[in-house]
Amino acid sequence: MGRPPKDIEAYKSMMRHTGEDEITRIPIEGVFGTAKRQYGLSLIKMKLQETSETAINMTFLLMNLEKTLKRILFVFFGFKTQAEIFDIFLPEYYQKTA
């Protein structure tokens, strides 16, 4: 779109770098989306910067603790997948969705 670039090699290099940046950014934006939907990060309305930062840090601390606890429980109970948990504790649910 628009005028073709004067230096095609520099343009290709810039486009390659832009694509790599986007690939790196996708999982990070996914984490922020999860924090907004499941942990109420979008509901933070603090007046002071310090209290806002504290609330944001607590949200991400909670996310990391939940992830770590999930891993510990999977190892402790010897589960390999979430499907095994549903099969044992909620067999009727797992059979409906499978």
Q: What share of the chain is helix, strand, coil (3-state, %, to 5)?
A: 80, 0, 20
User: Which pLDDT score is estimated for 83?
Assistant: 72
User: Which pLDDT score is estimated for 4?
Assistant: 75
pLDDT digits (tens, 9 = 90+) for 51-96: 999 999 999 999 999 988 888 887 777 766 767 766 766 666 655 5
pLDDT digits (tens, 9 = 90+) for 9-52: 888 888 888 888 888 888 888 888 888 998 888 888 888 999 99
Measure the CA–CA gap between 63 and 35, rounded to whole angstroms.
8
Please report, for the chain, how many H helices and E strands are present, in that order: 4, 0
The answer to whether the predicted template modeling score (pTM) of the entire model surpasses 0.75 is no
Three-class DSSP category at 35: helix
Beta strands of the chain (E only): which ranges?
A: none
Q: In this structure, what token pair is assigned to residue 41?
A: 């990060």
